[in-house]
């Protein structure tokens, strides 16, 4: 296997992993948005964040 073939295979693997990651993250965002839409009262007031470390 030549270096160019190895590089092409590596690029293909990387592209596949990036597609998987994008699908997973989009799914997480959709699930989070759906959960937020179902229970808006559990949200902190606008401008406030529950993870402030001041």
pLDDT digits (tens, 9 = 90+) for 4-51: 999 999 999 999 999 999 999 999 999 999 988 888 665 555 655 656
pLDDT given at position 47:
59
Task: Tell me how far apart the alpha carbons of residues 54 and 12 are, in angstroms, rounded to a whole number.
Answer: 44
Question: What would the 3-class secondary structure string for the chain be?
Answer: CCHHHHHHHHHHHHHHHHHHHHHHHHHHHHHHHHHHHHCHHHCCCCCCCCCCCC
pLDDT given at position 33:
92
Query: For residue 3, is pLDDT > 60?
Result: yes
pLDDT given at position 37:
87
Cα–Cα nearest to 2, from 22, 10, 39: 10
Q: Give 2's pLDDT tier (boundaries 50, 70, 90).
A: very high
pTM: 0.59
């Amino acid at each position: 296997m030549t270096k160019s073939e190895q590089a092409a295979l590596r690029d293909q693997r990387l592209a596949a992993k990036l597609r998987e990651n994008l699908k997973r993250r989009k799914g997480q965002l959709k699930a989070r948005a759906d959960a937020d839409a179902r229970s808006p009262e559990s949200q902190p007031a606008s401008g406030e964040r529950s993870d402030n470390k001041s």
